[in-house]
Amino acid sequence: MSSVLYDAPGPKARARSRAISIVGVILVLAVLAWLILAMGAPKTSANGAVQPGLWDATRWDVFSDVQVWRSLGGGVIATLKMAGVAAVLALIIGVLFSFGRTADHKAIRVPTAVVLEFVRGMPVLLMILFILLVFSTGSYWAGVSALAIYNGAIIGEALRAGIQSLPRGQREAGLAIGLTPLATRFTIEFPQAFRQMLPIIIAQLVVLLKDTSLAFIVGYSELLRVGVKNLPDFFGNRYLFSFFLVVLAIYLAMNLSLSWVARFVARRSGPKAGKLVDPEPTLTPKDPLASVRGGYSTGDAGGQGPA
Amino acid sequence: MDAVIENLPIFLEGFKNTLGLLLLSGIGALVLGVIVAALRISPIASFRGFATVYTEIVRNTPLTLVLFFCAFLLPYLQFSPPFFVLAVIGLTVYTSPFVAEALRSGINGVPVGQAEAARSVGLTFGQSLSYVIMPQAVRMVIPPLINVFIALTKNTSVAGAFFVFELFGAGRQVVNDRGDAVIAILAGVAFFYLIITITLGQIAARVEKKVAVLR
């Protein structure tokens, strides 16, 4: 552990830091163990009936039923179906938005900017409800189209930032060799911008995958609704907590693997790829202090994110 | 249009609750986020590991699932304050890792040469942090932090689906009464959301321009 902020620790300071670290681990483990034990302890409710603890076998025996796993699998497929279609549409909409936003004519640029600002400032849930009620599309298409429009707007902004960060010479060179403005954009500017922004786009797709759970609220039977509503309704409320934990684990597995892909792509095609491009100077993860302070770099959308 | 005007008190009530949710969970997330960010850059490895695991897990959990936990499972575990408090807890927990990441990226964004220069002119750890690193880090942190709060504003709408009466909940209730004016009502709700998000966005742009560190 070396840092420019303080002198290199001597043997005493190192020993102290190690001791605190061990105490910290013990403390965290103790709190976790206490929580797990407290949840596992049988509870007596007000009327004197004793409920078994949350880790009791009677709360978990449903999972030996193949049918339960089949339903959960159906939920996962429904979630992925919504996320997949919405992701493809979001990419298409994002490309259209980025072209509209960088168009030469003011008559295209200004309305696009207004629409983008409007869409980005609205909750996705409100958009889902709006599409569901106004166009009466059914919950699946309401969810897909709202997610596609919202995430398309954010991807569009990312692509625009990518296009604008390119050196002017790229466009000028394209025009100079006789390509039309549109061909220049498609064959020269856009591929570079897309590559530059790929980590942000994938991070946004993780957000999209997470947001499919909003369709739960309008009644689409995806993983969340199947896992924490339909199945507990059928098998009894005492399984609610068990189902919740399983659903959480499935979501984490899906999202973490997609995040991992995002990080992998960020490492491969991050700021250093394409040396012509000047990456945003401040918040880039390749910064030296990152390693000094022991953090690791992520290529995530950061502030764009938690919708 | 008359459906919006007639029901204006309901909208304003919802707007008030949305602002309340935003304010309380914003402050909560800021406090929790600062703690997580501090753990994340601390020299003690176990704290760092704990903060990393916390960030990864919470960030990859859907907000709906977090709020479901707060609305149904916490009462089930015999902890049952009103739904408003439960929603504040859920939004606080969900937003805190995003705050922490914004803070951390700000601190990491200060070039290492600044710290080296501070140390080489003889400033101590505390001095170089408070006179050199932090003043620059805070400026860089504010715009991404405001973006996190804009996202939080939009996320409060999810709480409306879990029995909290805020803007989204108000909109749903009015739509149930006046099914004939769905477009006007939802546009009204959107207008109130845009009041908050566009204002915050303008502030972010203003601050960014004003306090940007010139390099």
Is domain A65-276 classified as CATH 1.10.3720.10? Answer: yes
* A306/B125 CB distance under 8 A: no
User: CB B64 to CB A214 under 8 A?
Assistant: yes
| ipTM score for this prediction | 0.85
Give the model's confidence band at A47: pLDDT under 50 very low, under 70 low, under 90 confident, else very high. low
> With contacts defined as CB-CB under 8 Å, which chain B residues touch A300?
101
Q: What is the mean pLDDT of residues B137-155?
A: 88
Q: How confident is the model at residue A291 (pLDDT cuts 50, 70, 90)?
A: very low
Q: Residue A280 pLDDT > 70, yes or no?
A: no
Q: What residue in B sits closest to A258 (Cα-Cα)?
A: B60
| Whole-Å CA distances, A307 to A62, A202, A207, B65, B87 | 34, 15, 7, 13, 16
- Is residue B179 over pLDDT 60? yes
Class of residue A236 by CB neighbours under 10 A (exposed 0-12, middle 13-18, buried 19+): exposed
* pLDDT average, residue stretch A52-80: 85
Q: Note the pLDDT of residue A302.
A: 38
- Res A97 pLDDT > 90: yes
Residues of B with CB below 8 A from A134's CB?
A: 182-183, 186
Share above pLDDT 90 across residues of chain B, in percent, rounded to a whole number? 34
Q: Locate B161 and state its tokens.
A: 């689906």
Residue from the list A20, A289, A304 with its beta carbon closest to the beta carbon of B44:
A20
Residue A258 phi, psi (nearest 5): -65, -40
Q: Is the pLDDT of residue A36 over 80?
A: yes
- pLDDT band of residue A271 (cuts 50, 70, 90) is low
Least confident of A18-27, A222-231, B72-81, B191-200: B72-81
Picking from B65, B104, B168, the nearest residue to A295 by CB comes out as B104
CB-based contact, B110 to chain A, within 8 Å: yes
How high does pLDDT run on average in chain B?
87
Interatomic CA distance for residues B21 and B19, integer angstroms: 5
- What mean pLDDT is predicted for residues A208-223? 89
**A307 vs B154: CB contact, 8 Å cut-off?**
yes
Of B56-60, B70-74, B101-105, which one has max mean pLDDT?
B56-60
How large is the average pLDDT for residues A215-227?
88
pLDDT of residue A303 exceeding 60, the answer is no
With a CB-CB cutoff of 8 Å, which residues 20-39 of chain B face chain A?
none
Taking only the tens place, the pLDDT of each residue in A148-162 is: 999 999 999 999 988
Query: A224 vs B68: CB contact, 8 Å cut-off?
Result: yes
A266: amino acid identity, one letter = A
Classify residue B194 as exposed, middle or buried by CB count within 10 Å of its CB (0-12, 13-18, 19+).
middle
User: For residue A254, what pLDDT band results from cuts at 50, 70 and 90?
Assistant: very high
Q: In a mutagenesis test of the A interface, which of B59, B104, B207 is the best target, namely the one with the most A β-carbons within 10 Å? A: B59
Do the Cβ atoms of B197 and A213 come within 8 Å?
Answer: no
More confident residue, B90 or A232: B90
Q: Hey, where are the domains in chain A?
A: 65-276
pLDDT exceeds 90 at position A275? no
DSSP-derived 3-state class of residue A50: strand
From the list A17, A43, A224, the residue facing B65 with the nearest CB is A224
Tell me what the mean pLDDT of segment B120-128 comes to.
Answer: 86
**Is there a contact between A232 and A265 (Cβ–Cβ < 8 Å)?**
no
Shortest alpha-carbon distance between residue B142 and chain A (Å) = 11
Q: Do B193 and A122 touch (CB under 8 A)?
A: yes
- Residue B22, pLDDT score: 94
Using the beta-carbon criterion (under 8 Å), do B111 and A252 form an inter-chain contact? no
- Rounded to an integer, what distance in angstroms lies between the CA atom of residue A182 and that of residue A204? 27
What is the mean predicted confidence (pLDDT) over B32-47?
Answer: 84
Helix locations, chain B, DSSP H: 2-6, 8-41, 45-59, 63-68, 74-76, 83-108, 112-120, 125-127, 134-160, 167-177, 182-211
> Domain boundaries in chain B?
2-211
pLDDT for the residue B142: 85
pLDDT in tens, B9-29: 888 999 999 999 999 999 999
Longest dimension (CA), chain B: 72
CATH class, range B2-211: mainly alpha
Percent of chain A with pLDDT over 90: 31
Whether residues B108 and A287 touch (CB distance < 8 A) is answered with yes
Q: Which amino acid is at A19?
A: A
Q: Is the pLDDT of residue B141 over 90?
A: no
pLDDT at A52: 77
Residues on chain A touching B198 (C-beta within 8 angstroms): 117, 121
Tell me which chain B residues have a C-beta less than 8 angstroms from the C-beta of A21.
Answer: 44-47
Q: What is the arithmetic mean of pLDDT over A61-84?
A: 89
pLDDT band at B213; cut points 50, 70, 90: low
Per-residue confidence (pLDDT) for residue A48, from 0 to 100: 65
Q: Please give the pLDDT value at position A67.
A: 86
Residue B149 in this model has a pLDDT that exceeds 90: yes
